[in-house]
Amino acid sequence: MSLNGIAASAISALKTNSAALSVVSNNVANLNTEGYARRIVNQQTLSAGGQLMGVDIASIQRVTNQFLAQEQLSAGGAAAQYDTMAGLFSQLNGLLGGPGDNQSLATGLTNLSAAFATASQAPTSSASRTGVMNALNGLANTFSTVFSTISSLQTQVDQQAVNAVASTNTLIKQIYDLNSQIKTANAGGDQASALLDQRDVALTNLAQVMGIKTSTNADGSMNVSTTDGVNLVSNTYAKLAYSGGAQNGAYGNMTIQDINPANGSLIGQPTPLDPHLSGGSLKGLIDMRDQVLGGLNQTLGNLAQQTALAFNAQSNANAAYPPPTSLTGRDTGLLGTDALNFSGKTTVAVTDSSGKLVSRIDVNFTAGTLSVNGGASSSLGSPATIASMTAALNTALGGGGSASFANGQLSISATGGNGILVQDDATTPSARGSAGFSQFFGLNDVFQSQVPSITSTGLSAGDASGIAAGGVISLSLKGPDGDIAKNVSVTTTAGQTIGNIVTALNTAMGGAATFTLNSDGSISTATSALYPGYSLNVTGDTTQRGTTNMSFSQVFGLGANAQALQASAFSMTPAVTTNPARIGFASPAITAASVAGDTIVSAGDNAGAIALQNVITKSQSFHAAGGIAAQASSLSDYAATFYQNLATQSNAITANQTTQDDRLAEAKSRVSSNSGVNLDEELTSLSSYQQAYAAGARILSVVDQLYQTLLQIQ
């Protein structure tokens, strides 16, 4: 080999090892840089005409493992999902507390039981009445506060989802742009570009928002999709959209749609994204908002409804001393023209201020008659309607009182400082739907909420709907993964009956969900076997029954949100709030033999207070709600179940969080072991490249000496 060939080999050694030293330097410098994958130098022999001419760099290789990288992305998404949910559970647990906390529902029921026990010892004491009223108000406020707390957290979570969509779109666009730059770099021979590290960081951040999978193309670009294959980045890129907010308690879908990179225009139709989320903080937010928080509100509403039904039923069976001068009920959503549809017997009595009977009106709904003070029977109307019954009752009261029905409310009053008392027959009590006469109209209720607790309306298919034409009932059928299978609207027409509207709802849903008008006037709903776990939501209802303030869906309690709203604005009725003496601590004592002058309610009677106390531990029928199965349970036990359900879900999420965080830590460790910078290895390479560089330099020095020697030869 000539001296020039030796020199060329030495120079190649200098260049190659200098470049290799630069790679080692970059590795060491990026020891703690997120997303950096170490580079290694692959050398090859340099030749010309089959002769060795030194050394060259074949490639600078970025060390990665696609399997480990995908595992890290998957683990990152799962960890982010449960980290998000665990953080929200921590916040929720702090706000709601536990069964023994002062602000809990269980404590409220315990305090109420103690107040009734005290009142039963001194039923005429103003302190006893005030104590019971404060306990009732405390329990009502707890229901309302817990509902507001859960609902506010739902709104907060929903807004976080809105904010996450904007940042996710930025990440998707960033990955698409990096793909374009990487393709250009690859075409120029740079296969270890720093752009790859930037893309990995962006992919890691995207995986923390939503579960993704990736595949690398020959040109260095990367396809990104959801785990079930919905495109996020390819030759196009996707855009997410979500404006947030609920319609009547029901949240809509996030949508995803491809964008044409050439002009920024949208391609095709938007697709719901929610069903395609398999991990990441977005999945955690949506599951918390819809499944966890939505389920808790339904469970809470279930407890609120049964609490109102149980206490109102007993309160309407009790009597206050002295009896109030008037009883005004709630807005039932009924019309005066609705069929009476009561059965059994009840007595409306007028008493003096000492609880003695002044006059009695015995109503036999089954026979359709009433009688005054045991006299001749008169008709409730033919056919008997709410209005005809009210008119008959008003006539029977004569100068001693009056009865009226307007805007869905029944009112009965006595004159001359006397009081009104209603008592059902002990053998054949009155009933419409599942409630007695006084409870159905809410004449002596203690609790109320945003929606009526009684949904067994007593209405039949042939009853006029009382709804003007043009009202719109909007429904959606939403799955547990967030997919909306149906979005329909029903517009009312003139002259429809209740049965007509039920039929129209069934037609609109096309079998995906069915509505059944039951014999008690309630409407039950069921989803098709094709849609297990789906919930039916009423997203809007502009109908109104006559001059009442009740829409069709409110009257019948339709939609998943109707259950949750049982706890919304849960409070004591104004009549009780303004007058604690309205709380019935006594039990009326009207018998078939009772005549004017007989005492039918006395001051020292504590039977009503004891009965109200027993309501708390009496078994009630709870239907399935929020993941808790239907059961027979006391109010206090179901309140404990509410908190136990919260604790169980929280513990499950915490356990999953620990598992997925450990999985992520292991994935990161393996990726670091494979792709991370190891100082020992880099120092070894540094020493090797330095020695090779020094050897090349020494060869050049020797060649130089040889040239000098040759030049000195004469």
DSSP 307-349: HHHHHHHHHHHSB-SSPPSEEE-------TTSB---BSEEEEE
Separation CA 579–CA 177 (nearest Å): 70
Of the two residues 43 and 323, the one the predictor is more confident about is 323
Q: For residue 60, what pLDDT band results from cuts at 50, 70 and 90?
A: confident
Residue 64: pLDDT above 60?
A: yes
Residue 607: pLDDT above 70?
A: yes
Determine the pLDDT at residue 55: 85
Determine the pLDDT at residue 696: 81
Determine the pLDDT at residue 514: 96
How confident is the model over 280-285, as a mean pLDDT?
96
Determine the pLDDT at residue 692: 83
Percentage of the residues of the chain whose pLDDT score is greater than 70: 100
E strands along 190-288, which residues? 212-216, 222-226, 231-233, 237-241, 246-247, 250-251, 255-259, 266-272
How confident is the model over 461-483, as a mean pLDDT?
94
Q: Who contacts 508 (Cβ-Cβ below 8 Å, separation ≥6)?
A: 475, 488, 489, 490
Count, in order, helices (H) and strands (E) of the chain: 16, 27
pLDDT, one tens digit per residue, over 203-254 is 999 999 999 999 999 999 999 999 999 999 999 999 999 999 998 888 999 9
Q: Is the dihedral of CA 95, 96, 99, 100 positive or negative?
A: positive
| Domain ranges, ordered by start, for the chain | 3-63+676-712, 67-90+152-291, 321-443, 472-556
Task: Provide the mean pLDDT of the chain.
Answer: 93
Determine the pLDDT at residue 459: 96
Q: For residue 714, what pLDDT band results from cuts at 50, 70 and 90?
A: low
How confident is the model over 28-50, as a mean pLDDT?
84
- In three-state secondary structure terms, 401 is strand
Is-contact 500 486, C-beta < 8 A?
A: no
Q: For residue 43, what pLDDT band results from cuts at 50, 70 and 90?
A: confident
Residue 406: pLDDT above 70?
A: yes
pLDDT, one tens digit per residue, over 517-561 is 999 999 999 999 999 989 999 999 999 999 999 999 999 999 999
Is-contact 668 79, C-beta < 8 A?
A: no
Residue 115: pLDDT above 90?
A: yes
Q: For residue 361, what pLDDT band results from cuts at 50, 70 and 90?
A: very high
Residue 622: pLDDT above 60?
A: yes
Among the ranges given (128-137, 260-269, 691-700), the one the predictor scored with the smallest mean pLDDT: 691-700
Q: Is the dihedral of CA 119, 124, 128, 130 positive or negative?
A: positive
Is-contact 618 633, C-beta < 8 A?
A: no
How confident is the model over 12-19, as a mean pLDDT?
85
DSSP β-ladder status, 222-226 and 212-216? antiparallel
How confident is the model over 299-303, as a mean pLDDT?
96
Tokens of 374: 């045991």
Of the two residues 694 and 391, the one the predictor is more confident about is 391
- In three-state secondary structure terms, 478 is strand
How confident is the model over 551-578, as a mean pLDDT?
95
Determine the pLDDT at residue 623: 92
Global pTM value: 0.90
pLDDT, one tens digit per residue, over 626-674 is 889 999 999 999 999 999 999 999 999 999 999 999 999 999 899 888 8
How confident is the model over 183-201, as a mean pLDDT?
87
Is-contact 524 516, C-beta < 8 A?
A: yes
Is-contact 450 335, C-beta < 8 A?
A: no
Separation CA 611–CA 613 (nearest Å): 5
The CATH number given to 321-443 is 2.60.40
Determine the pLDDT at residue 101: 76
Determine the pLDDT at residue 711: 82
Determine the pLDDT at residue 1: 56
